[in-house]
Amino acid sequence: MNVLTEEAKAILEGTHHDPHQWLGMHPAAGGQIVRAYVPEAVACHCVELVDRRRYPLMPIDERGIFESFVPQKTEKFAYRIQAEWNGGARHEFYDPYAFLPTISEHDLYLFNEGTDRQVYQKLGAHCRTIDGISGVSFAVWAPSAKRVSVVGDFNHWDGRRHMMRSMGSSGVWELFCPELNPGAYYKFELLDLQGNLQLKADPYGFAFEPPPHNASVVQASVDYEWGDELWLKRRSRTDWLAEPVSIYEVHLGSWKRVPEQGDRPLNYREFAEQLVAYLRAQHYTHVEFMPLAEFPFEGSWGYQVTGFFAPTYRYGTPDDFRYLVDLLHQHGFGVILDWVPAHFPKDDFALANFDGTNLYEHADPRQGEHQDWGTLIFNYGRPEVRTFLIGSALAWCDHFHIDGLRVDAVASMLYLDYSREHGQWIPNQYGGRENIEAIEFLREANDAIHQAFPGVLTIAEESTAWGGVTRPTAENGLGFDLKWNMGWMHDALGYFQKAPLYRKWHQNDLTFGAIYQNTEHFNMVFSHDEVVHGKGSMLLKMGAEHISDKAQHLRALYGWMWGWPGKKTLFMGSDFGQSAEWNHDRSLDWHLIQYDDHCGIQKLVADLNEFYGRHPALGCNDFDPGTFRWINHANHEDSILSFMRLDPTGRRTLVVVGNFNTMTWEHYRLGVPQSGIWKEVINTGAARYGGWNHWFDQERNAEPIPWDDQLVSINIHLPAMSTLFFELKQE
């Protein structure tokens, strides 16, 4: 054997940062030099494609390095490598080291700058055709690795066979693997600076194999035939802040199951057909899915993501998920997805310590670890990390036509001292507690989403009094469209959990929200977080003894919520008063709908959604401060409150009155803003909803009796524990 060069030694030792410089075909005086590294091969030939002429490659090391000089070839030519192993087995293949990079210097510049908005089309694995040869290009960011290889079922998971080239200071490694087909399982094998080998799933992977394994799966180019063109056109022209938005929050795996088949969850396609029918019957406008990006641990409900670009395998293929979104769009329903850029799990096959360094996360646990959740925090100061996360958001909108992203745990991103004691966090450069890098990331992400996909909503789950969450970034806000109103939710539940006897001392729980109502664009919400971890279901929270009484209280609360300004979100099961806490491992208790209490709650939510969607004083005017006005918020003794929602045209004013005590008033005088006949249009205590009030549809002529600071008033029947809506009857 020949004396090995340093290049050959580096190839054999797996430390060569750019194997393309030495392997493959290279010009030499009078011809071309061809080198190949085929471990365990005993013979190799270079086969010219034009005339099938074979040039023997001589072994220069018994571990599989071959080399030959091809004379009189002034230009490179197309060729394949033919290798032979002991026993006579032969295999002919295109040389992966014969191809130029598939990612440009400009793309790399944008990636390192943090401004590449289509990075998901470049990094990761992509089926391409180069020089007429189909295959898969791979690219991964690992700046501190000494060597990166693509390994998979196509090369026996052998990191020697497909070593990638370093794209210089960009930190990106790249390789085109010819003749590789969709469906191949793969990972990246990284040699870190300490000499340790790591196997990592693709951060930009579009699909993953099921546990207990975690390889990425090569996906074919997207050729799904969408049928939602009309929806997308409408969406791009829609100002959702001026439209009714009523969102059904869903955990797909526990919505419904198939007991005859091992209690498996519905798949994406089965779910699509049934969900469309349910949303239509309940008059929701949108569905919000708890995270469907790939995740390993069922108990995280999807909030510990390892595949930021991939729909989870649990319910079908990426195209099956596209079918779900497509069908919802074709029937007029928007699709919102929970997106989790706040943290990621420590699983060793994923992002953590990716190239042997703290690449995606902060190194210091005072900045880089969520102690409550046992997860890691992204380093938002790195441009490449911002590119990765914003690319994830845009890819969901691009590849899957998602209409909105509900950003999880925003409060944990905004504050460096979130859930930390003194000494457990590091102040920012000005000595404050604000996470400046995360703030800039959120602004950048919101702007990128809105610019690329007009009409797509961004919603913040933000539980503090941070100012300007829904203010435009140009006005120094965070740029979200909506913010979950966690304060209103907390106060309202606190009030309704108390027995009616004690509510008169806590009426400010229901009135306080009006003080800050117009500081943000609020989304009123009762989410999954309120029905887990021993908190009890929405029904059982209510401050009453018996189920029927609890149902009456819950209906009154929902009536109050739908009358209050703001978009609406309700978690599945809560809209029919499920008794048990939500359990992610089992189906909702759909059998309860046979009982009047539960069926009544479901009917009420449907009617509230329908009324909210068509009444001009409600869904179209959630954020006009001039459309809300108190009638009487001071009747603490009787636990009765009333307000009006004003139609800007002045024609269809709505009056909402809530009686949150156990006393029924046969004659209750209520001030109203106009003369005429006032008709009851919603009564949460009506018999049709399982209540005991049969006075539904009462009409009252306004009398010239000043009341509640109004010039006229009506004398109504006000049932116990009910919310009523009255509308001026149209001539």
The verdict on residue 302 lying in a domain is no
The verdict on residue 260 lying in a domain is no
**pLDDT tens by residue, 523-579:** 999 999 999 999 999 999 999 999 999 999 999 999 999 999 999 999 999 999 999
Cβ atoms within 10 Å, residue 422: 6
- Domain endpoint, select from 217, 233, 255: 217
Looking at the structure, tell me whether residues 142 and 87 fall in a common domain: no
The verdict on residue 714 lying in a domain is yes
Looking at the structure, tell me whether residues 57 and 28 fall in a common domain: yes
Give residue 616's identity as a one-letter amino acid code.
Answer: P
Instruction: Give the residue-averaged pLDDT of 259-276.
Output: 96
Looking at the structure, tell me whether residues 208 and 144 fall in a common domain: yes
CA dist., res. 163 & res. 150, Å (int): 6
Q: Annotated active-site positions, please?
A: 408, 461
Cβ atoms within 10 Å, residue 469: 26
What pLDDT score does 223 carry? 87
Q: Are 529 and 584 in contact (CB under 8 A)?
A: no
CA dist., res. 508 & res. 494, Å (int): 11
User: Cis (ω within 30 of 0) for the bond into 212?
Assistant: yes
The verdict on residue 687 lying in a domain is yes
We report the CATH number of the domain holding residue 142 as 2.60.40.10
Secondary structure of 635-654 in HEC code, one letter for each residue: ECCCCEEEEEECCCCCCCCE
- CA–chain centroid gap for 512, Å, is 31
Q: What is the DSSP string of 216-242?
A: EE--PPP------HHHHHHHHH--GGG
We report the CATH number of the domain holding residue 676 as 2.60.40.1180
CA dist., res. 335 & res. 268, Å (int): 14
CA dist., res. 458 & res. 336, Å (int): 9
- In percent, the amount of the chain with pLDDT more than 70 equals 99
* pLDDT level of residue 695 (50, 70, 90 thresholds): low
The verdict on residue 248 lying in a domain is no
Nearest to 505 by CA among 514, 515, 495, 497: 495
Looking at the structure, tell me whether residues 120 and 73 fall in a common domain: no
What pLDDT score does 719 carry? 94
Phi, psi for residue 491 in degrees, rounded to 5: -70, -45
- CA–chain centroid gap for 295, Å, is 12
Looking at the structure, tell me whether residues 81 and 138 fall in a common domain: no
Residue 715, CA distances (Å) to 233, 661, 703, 709 in order: 48, 18, 8, 15
Looking at the structure, tell me whether residues 689 and 705 fall in a common domain: yes
- pTM here is 0.95
List, in sequence order, every beta strand (DSSP E) within 106-201: 124-130, 133-141, 147-152, 165-166, 172-178, 185-191, 197-200
pLDDT of 1 above 60: no
**pLDDT tens by residue, 488-512:** 999 999 999 999 999 999 999 999 9
The verdict on residue 89 lying in a domain is yes
The verdict on residue 626 lying in a domain is yes
The verdict on residue 265 lying in a domain is no
Looking at the structure, tell me whether residues 709 and 623 fall in a common domain: yes
Looking at the structure, tell me whether residues 49 and 118 fall in a common domain: no
Helices 268-282 and 596-614: crossing angle in degrees, nearest 10, is: 80
Looking at the structure, tell me whether residues 72 and 16 fall in a common domain: yes
Nearest to 457 by CA among 406, 525, 384, 516: 406
Q: Are 113 and 384 in contact (CB under 8 A)?
A: no
What pLDDT score does 278 carry? 98
What pLDDT score does 730 carry? 77
Looking at the structure, tell me whether residues 75 and 130 fall in a common domain: no
In terms of DSSP bridges, do strands 197-200 and 404-407 run parallel, antiparallel, or are they unpaired?
unpaired
Number of domains in the chain: 3
What pLDDT score does 692 carry? 81
Q: Are 356 and 192 in contact (CB under 8 A)?
A: yes
* pLDDT level of residue 87 (50, 70, 90 thresholds): confident
Q: Are 83 and 91 in contact (CB under 8 A)?
A: yes
Instruction: Give the residue-averaged pLDDT of 267-291.
Output: 98
What pLDDT score does 694 carry? 61
What pLDDT score does 410 carry? 97
Q: Is the dihedral of CA 214, 216, 220, 222 positive or negative?
A: positive
CA dist., res. 158 & res. 178, Å (int): 17
What pLDDT score does 389 carry? 98
Q: Are 186 and 215 in contact (CB under 8 A)?
A: yes
Give residue 658's identity as a one-letter amino acid code.
Answer: G
What pLDDT score does 153 carry? 93
Give residue 489's identity as a one-letter amino acid code.
Answer: M
Looking at the structure, tell me whether residues 73 and 109 fall in a common domain: no
Region of 87 (left: φ > 0; alpha: ψ -120 to 50; beta: rest) is left
What pLDDT score does 2 carry? 59
pLDDT of 600 above 70: yes
Average pLDDT of the chain?
95
In terms of DSSP bridges, do strands 65-71 and 54-61 run parallel, antiparallel, or are they unpaired?
antiparallel
Domain extent at residue 129: 105-217
Residues in the chain: 731
pLDDT of 211 above 90: no
Nearest to 446 by CA among 483, 484, 485, 487: 483
- Domain endpoint, select from 98, 123, 152: 98
- Domain endpoint, select from 63, 98, 133: 98
**pLDDT tens by residue, 441-493:** 999 999 999 999 999 999 999 999 999 999 999 999 999 999 999 999 999 99
**Strands, sheet with 133-141, edge to edge from the N-terminal-most edge strand:** 124-130, 133-141, 172-178, 165-166
pLDDT of 665 above 90: yes
Looking at the structure, tell me whether residues 69 and 134 fall in a common domain: no
